[in-house]
Amino acid sequence: MAFRKPNLERKYPIIFKIGEITEEIFFRSAKRIFPKIRRATEREDLFERIDFFIERENQLWGVDVKGRRKRKRCGKDYAVVIEIVNKGGKYIFSKGFTHYAIENPFEKTFWIVPKLNILQFLKTELNLRNIHTEAVPKFFSLYKRGKSISYIVPEEYFFNRITPLERVPINWREDMEIVELLLEREKLRWEISEKCLQLSRYG
């Protein structure tokens, strides 16, 4: 069966490329700590939200890598975006992945966090039984588009309240290819900033 390209790749090729680079940075960094790591298949990525599998102590983790995201495409502030319901209206925590790998810019690491811990974080912070509600604290944002629902949490707030299961240092000192990937990613981010600047000038 042939897979169609995800909408993100078709509509936002630069953002999609940044995501691919972030996944490669994670993979090259993580394999020093987790020798039994492998890439997910395209089907597993598309339907189960799994980017990588990590075998550790007789456990198999399905990992979804999350890089840095701006709260607004042309804004300055970064946030952790936690998708709750996908565009098909399906509850994302029922997917097959078991852990997030979330890039932490303050430590230059990826934090591996069980998805159930993220769910508990949302329920605790929002003091809710139903996490679909729109009654969210002012420092959170609730983003809805069609059937999709995501919570947007400021980076510093998030990392001050979450405890990682594992930390994966971004191994740029010993892997020049990671350095090249980091530079390429920053160049792409700069391109987005330039486009935003042009939009602000010409409306």
* Short-list 127, 100, 139, CA closest to 116: 100
Looking up tokens 């936002």 gives 12
pTM: 0.85
* Short-list 21, 69, 58, CA closest to 36: 58
Average confidence (pLDDT) over 133-144: 67
Amino acid identity for residue 17 in this structure: K
- Distance (Å, whole) CA 75 – CA 196: 9
3-class secondary-structure state, position 3: coil
Could you give the angle at the alpha carbon of 200 between the alpha carbons of 14 and 6, nearest 5°? 25
What pLDDT, in 10s, does the model give residues 5-54? 455 555 678 888 999 999 999 999 999 999 999 999 998 887 788 999 99
